Structure 1
């Protein structure tokens, strides 16, 4: 214990993959007494050299701190690692990627063992941890008082964003945001494929693509407002009829460039379906409802 660690909340971290190691290092650097454990003990050696306390097993690690952070491979691993530990009186923060249903089940599981539970979704990659200017953050859901109690400690590695009392909401927001990311990557992959056989430098094209995606990203605000208010025609400047009429050009261009349209055709099919329902004056918001089963 040094003056730097006085009054700093002790943290236990279970799981020292790339993300767990990055988390541990930021808490150590900020002066938090940090206990670590990993199935492969060698991963804890570097952290021990930096001042972490290396626990012999999960039970000893959990015993060391009231705040227990879990960052493991999957939900099954969480159950296996915590199975033989005493969670009574502990505040468990689970940063393991999971589904909303798994998070809700895990919250009930923790409560049955006398623990308070927060679920988390990390919106960052390891190099962003501890570097505020990168914009990384972690979503948290569960009891508000638990989040408020630990907010300062949780905000050390990355921004801490609370999304609701429902323990499944962090996972839900996490997967929703990542799903949008993959959709963006899909569109970008198609765009680069169209240029691949041409004398176009992808490095020169990239700023145009990034700028266009940034500009078009603002449309999510209109989509959100339309979903909330129920009027899918409000503020529409490019209606569905016009957009569907333009889709053959995209498909013909792909064919002419020798590019598979498989990343575009499912979305275009949803557009056509919505149009056949008589929604010509809408924009694209109605496609959200077509996805609901």
Structure 2
């Protein structure tokens, strides 16, 4: 296997995991962190005294720091990046990824869909977007961090996918917490609800491929039930929440979206038609 020199800037939990996976794969790995002591956990790594020194050591530079401001600060201190591939695996907004790509031509933005402990194992998945030639050239290196998927030339796509997954994750978690609160009000332990919650999540997951096709086609034929039927079920959740003294805000929001979709003529369509309400212009809530 071909081994390469690679630099990792940032040694938080994820940065250490990335550097560790590269070292285990046999790559010459140079690291830098604002607090140099964090490199002690990476035997075999070359510890650079500055960002510029770390960048000069390798043709591929992986950045994993906290926040877009830190990314800018680190790259501004990097010195000459000409000819080098910058792979930014820090979390950030899609707009920020596009702005960074405009300053660094051979740029890949990445979103890590894994925990630090999974990096370098089959459980790890990372999506990338940006410079396709840079991805193709170094795909074998990136695969030593986990399954690597290229999403497209738009540098913002990786960050956008990460945000979409986070939105889904918190929607599921808050749905579980609201349900657990509803049951706890009746003295039911959350642990006993877990099997039912898991089965419900699996049921919804099985709907997703068909629902995705409806979204892409812009047609919403009812399959499991019409939106009118779903609206009645959501209203039941709202009423039960009020009766139990549990915050009815989450299901009430879902009911409002469904009501708006029904008013727009989608009562006989599938629940997926509610997507039109999500795509209506909105103001950011602070």
Q: Give the TM-score category using the shorter length.
A: over 0.9
What CA distance in whole angstroms lies between the structure 2 residues aligned with 1:247 and 1:69? 46
How far residue 213 of structure 1 moved from its aligned partner, in angstroms, is: 0.1
Say whether the 8 Å CA contact 2:94–2:156 is kept in structure 1: yes
Aligned to 1:263: 250
Tell me the secondary structure at the aligned position of residue 168 of structure 2: helix
- Stretches of structure 2 that go unaligned for 5 or more consecutive residues are 282-286
Aligned to 2:227: 240
Aligned to 1:251: 238
How far residue 244 of structure 1 moved from its aligned partner, in angstroms, is: 1.2
- Alignment equivalent of 2:161, drawn from 173, 188, 191: 173
Task: Answer yes or no: is 1:17 the counterpart of 2:12.
Answer: yes
Which shows bigger deviation, 144-153 or 34-43?
Answer: 144-153
Query: How do residues 146-165 of structure 1 correspond to structure 2 at under 5 angstroms?
Result: 146-165=134-153
Aligned to 1:52: 45
What CA distance in whole angstroms lies between the structure 2 residues aligned with 1:253 and 1:127? 41
Task: Answer yes or no: is 1:231 the counterpart of 2:225.
Answer: no
How far residue 40 of structure 1 moved from its aligned partner, in angstroms, is: 1.0
Tell me the secondary structure at the aligned position of residue 250 of structure 2: coil
Aligned to 2:185: 197
What CA distance in whole angstroms lies between the structure 1 residues aligned with 2:192 and 2:143? 37
Aligned CA RMSD, in angstroms, stands at 1.5
- Stretches of structure 1 that go unaligned for 5 or more consecutive residues are 1-5
How far residue 173 of structure 1 moved from its aligned partner, in angstroms, is: 1.0
How far residue 199 of structure 1 moved from its aligned partner, in angstroms, is: 4.1
Say whether the 8 Å CA contact 2:261–2:276 is kept in structure 1: no
How far residue 237 of structure 1 moved from its aligned partner, in angstroms, is: 2.5
Say whether the 8 Å CA contact 2:234–2:251 is kept in structure 1: no
What CA distance in whole angstroms lies between the structure 2 residues aligned with 1:291 and 1:240? 15
Aligned to 1:110: 104
Which shows bigger deviation, 213-222 or 26-35?
Answer: 213-222
What CA distance in whole angstroms lies between the structure 1 residues aligned with 2:113 and 2:162? 7
TM-score between the two structures when normalised by the length of structure 1? 0.91
What CA distance in whole angstroms lies between the structure 1 residues aligned with 2:196 and 2:124? 24
Say whether the 8 Å CA contact 2:5–2:29 is kept in structure 1: yes
Tell me the secondary structure at the aligned position of residue 181 of structure 1: helix
Task: Answer yes or no: is 1:288 the counterpart of 2:282.
Answer: no
Task: Answer yes or no: is 1:128 the counterpart of 2:118.
Answer: yes
- How many correspondences in the alignment? 279
Alignment CA distance shift 1:200-1:131 (3 Å): farther
Alignment CA distance shift 1:131-1:200 (3 Å): farther
What CA distance in whole angstroms lies between the structure 1 residues aligned with 2:29 and 2:2? 13
**Any runs of at least 4 consecutive aligned residues in structure 1 with deviations exceeding 4 A, and if so which?**
none
Query: How do residues 217-228 of structure 1 correspond to structure 2 at under 5 angstroms?
Result: 217-228=205-216
Which shows bigger deviation, 211-220 or 118-127?
Answer: 211-220
